[in-house]
Amino acid sequence: MSNILRPLSLLLLLVLLAGCGFHPRGQMTRLDGLPQPLALTGIQPYSDLGLVLREELRAAGVALTDDAQQAAGVLQISDTRSASRVLSLDSRNRAAEYELTESLRFSLHRPGQGPVVPPQRVRVIRSLYKPADQVLGRSREEQALRESMRRELAQKMIRRLAAQY
């Protein structure tokens, strides 16, 4: 009897998890309903953020084109910002902790029509402890953190597009 209950209880647990909207971490949001092919404008294609955006959009099932005239939709990226500010100082009055920010503004429209998704901003904020005596290791850590932030920024944008389109 216990041999039958164990698989049934596991199946019941899986059905409950699926029914509540649970998704394993790292599951990509699909953008199959967007007009395709999609042109990505307003950002340099080979910039750090441009490469991440293209990679994440392709992973979400979006066909991209470089020609905005042939595109069924245009994803306009504007006002990209990468900033940092001092959060705390050490005992010698030097910066020890920073707040890093990555943000962008995006909108989606069809050529010759108004916006399908109105302009909106997405932003990612992280803090970085960076003592003055560990310059080399902390600059590498900052680069890795910035890359992670850009990826999260692109994923946030994709989730917003999926929710509004």
pLDDT tens series, the chain, 165 aa: 567 888 888 877 777 777 666 555 556 677 777 788 999 999 998 999 999 999 999 999 899 998 888 888 899 999 999 999 988 888 888 888 889 999 999 999 988 887 889 999 999 999 988 776 666 667 788 899 999 999 999 999 999 998 887
Question: What is each CA distance from 118 to 12, 110, 133, in whole angstroms?
Answer: 41, 12, 46
Starting at the edge strand found earlier in the chain, the sheet holding 73-89 runs 64-65, 38-41, 73-89, 95-109, 115-129
Give the global pTM. Answer: 0.76
Question: What is each CA distance from 136 to 51, 131, 132, 147, 160, in whole angstroms?
Answer: 25, 11, 10, 17, 37
The single-letter code of the amino acid at 27 is: Q
Largest CA distance in the chain: 70
Q: Which CATH topology does 2-164 take?
A: Double Stranded RNA Binding Domain (3.30.160)
Selection from 102, 94, 56 nearest residue 75 by Cα: 56
